[in-house]
Amino acid sequence: MGDFSLREVANLSGVSHAAVYRHFQHKDEVLEILSAIGFDRLASLQKKVAKDKKNPDEYFVKLGLVYIQFALKNPNYYKLMFQTKREKESNQLKRSKLRSYAVLVHGCRFYLNAKKRKENHRSFALMSWSLVHGFSDLSLETNFPISEGKRLNQSQIELAASILRFAT
């Protein structure tokens, strides 16, 4: 993921090498900003799903599916967001991560309350996230049986939705 130079960033961006170095001290800063953008995009998609809460079961399933679809449609962002270890994170990246996770936590709280269930919403969110993250990771990083082009076909979407329903 990090196999590039700031000089290459300058060339691809059409700016001078000096301009890039004025904004970034090293390439890890570029990767952090790209990670933050990825988390912000995921949060935006999650929030769109969160607007439609008429049916708690369907809402919860859609919240999981949007995560999987984001990962499969944006594998480079996804890998950068979750497979890059950092010693220290910028405040911008921390905020972006929390925004995305907060949508999931609030969604799980809504779902559990609507279903009158007593589980801890944070624990439920962690387990739900683990399920969709594992599916996404397996789909991207292994020879996991998925349709060509890393896109879920309708039967796979229905299967993933069934698994999410069963898990709840």
The overall average pLDDT reported for the chain is 82
CB 46 within 8 A of CB 100: yes
Query: Is there a domain that residue 16 lies in?
Result: no
| DSSP annotation string for 82-129 | HS---SS--HHHHHHHHHHHHHHHHHHHHHHHHTT--S-HHHHHHHHH
Amino acid at 106: H
Query: Is there a domain that residue 30 lies in?
Result: yes
- What's this model's pTM, rounded to 2 decimal places? 0.81
In whole angstroms, what is the distance from residue 42 CA to residue 87 CA?
23
Query: Is there a domain that residue 4 lies in?
Result: no
Query: Is there a domain that residue 116 lies in?
Result: yes
Query: Is there a domain that residue 14 lies in?
Result: no
Provide the pLDDT for residue 48.
94
Provide the pLDDT for residue 106.
94
What's the token pair of residue 131?
């399920």
Provide the pLDDT for residue 122.
94
Domain count, the chain: 1
| 99-104 mean pLDDT | 95
Query: Is there a domain that residue 1 lies in?
Result: no
| 110-132 mean pLDDT | 91
DSSP-derived 3-state class of residue 15: coil
Query: Is there a domain that residue 5 lies in?
Result: no
Q: Residue 125 to residues 58, 86, 100, 111, 122: CA-CA distances in angstroms?
A: 16, 24, 12, 10, 5
* Residue-wise pLDDT tens digits, 122-167: 999 999 899 889 888 888 887 666 545 555 556 666 666 666 666 6
**Which of these ranges, 33-37, 76-80, 83-87, 123-127, has the smallest mean pLDDT?**
83-87
Distance of CA 46 to the CA centre of its chain: 9
Domain extent for 40? 26-167
- Given a cut of 80, whether residue 13 has pLDDT beyond it is no
Query: Is there a domain that residue 41 lies in?
Result: yes
| CATH (domain of 132) | 1.10.357.10
Provide the pLDDT for residue 146.
59
